[in-house]
A and B are shown apart, each in its own frame.
Chain A
Amino acid sequence: MKLSLGKWLLPVYSGLALLFLMIPIGYTFVYSFNDSLKSNITWRGFTFDKWLNVCNVQNGAVCQAFGNSLFIGAVATVAATTLGTMIAIAIVRYRFKFRSQTSLLLFLPMATPEVVLGAGLAAQFLSLGVPKDMLTIILAHTMFCISFVVVTVKARVASLDPALEEAGRDLYGSAWQVFARITFPLLLPGILAAALLSFALSFDDFIITNFNSGAVTTFPKYIYISAARGIPAEANVLASAVFILALVVVVTVQVSGAAKARRLAKLS
Chain B
Amino acid sequence: MAFAAFSSTAPSATAAPSTDPVARRRSPVALFLLLPGILYLVLFFLTPLVSLLLTSFQSPREFGDIGQFDYAFRWQNYVEVVTTYWPHIVRSFSYALAATFFALLISYPLAYFIGVKARKWPLLQSLMLVLVIAPFFISFLLRTLAWKQLFSDESFVVQSLKALSLLGPEAHVTGTAFSVIFGLTYNFIPFMTLPLYTTLERLDVRYLEAGNDLYASPFQVFRKITIPLSMPGIVAGTLLTFIPAAGDYINASRDFLGGTGTQMMGNVIEANFLVLQNYPSAAALSIILMTVILVIVSIYVKRSGTEELL
Chain A residues near B (Cβ < 8 Å): 10-11, 13-14, 17-18, 20-25, 27-28, 31, 41-42, 83-84, 86-87, 89-90, 92-96, 102-117, 119-124, 126-127, 139-140, 142-143, 146-148, 150-152, 154-155, 158-159, 162, 193, 197, 200-201, 204, 206-207, 210-211, 219-220, 223-224, 227-228, 231, 235-236, 239-240, 242-243, 246-247, 250-251, 254, 258
Contact = CB atoms under 8 A, between A and B. Distances in A.
Interface in B235-286: 239, 243-244, 246-250, 253, 255-256, 265-266, 269-270, 273-274, 279, 282-283, 286
A155 B12 contact: yes
Nearest to A162: B22
Given A25-B143, A115-B289, A220-B141, A108 B45 contact: yes
A119 B52 contact: yes
A111 B239 contact: yes
A10 to B, nearest CB: 5
Contacts of A107: 309-310
A114 B71 CA distance: 25
B290 A116 contact: yes
Given A25-B134, A223-B139, A223-B141, 18 more contacts: A17-B106, A94-B30, A115-B247, A115-B270, A116-B49, A119-B273, A120-B49, A121-B48, A124-B47, A124-B51, A124-B52, A142-B44, A147-B5, A204-B140, A207-B247, A207-B249, A242-B139, A254-B130
18 contacts: A10-B109, A14-B114, A24-B146, A24-B186, A27-B146, A90-B34, A96-B26, A107-B310, A116-B49, A116-B52, A123-B279, A158-B12, A158-B19, A200-B137, A204-B136, A228-B255, A231-B145, A235-B142
Highest count of chain A CB atoms <10 Å: which of B122, B142, B186: B142
Nearest to B3: A197
A119 B286 contact: yes
Determine chain B's interface SS by DSSP, over half rule: helix
A219 B52 CA distance: 27
Contacts of B26: 94-96
Contacts of A127: 51, 54-55
Give the secondary structure class of A's interface: helix
Nearest to A107: B310
Interface string B9-44: 101100110010010111101110110111011101
B286 to A, nearest CB: 5
A47 to B, nearest CB: 19
Contacts of A243: 134, 137-138
B164 interface: no
The 7 A-B pairs of least Cβ separation, nearest first, read A113-B247, A120-B48, A94-B30, A24-B146, A83-B37, A246-B137, A90-B33
B113 A10 contact: yes
Given A25-B135, A111-B294, A200-B136, A151 B5 contact: yes
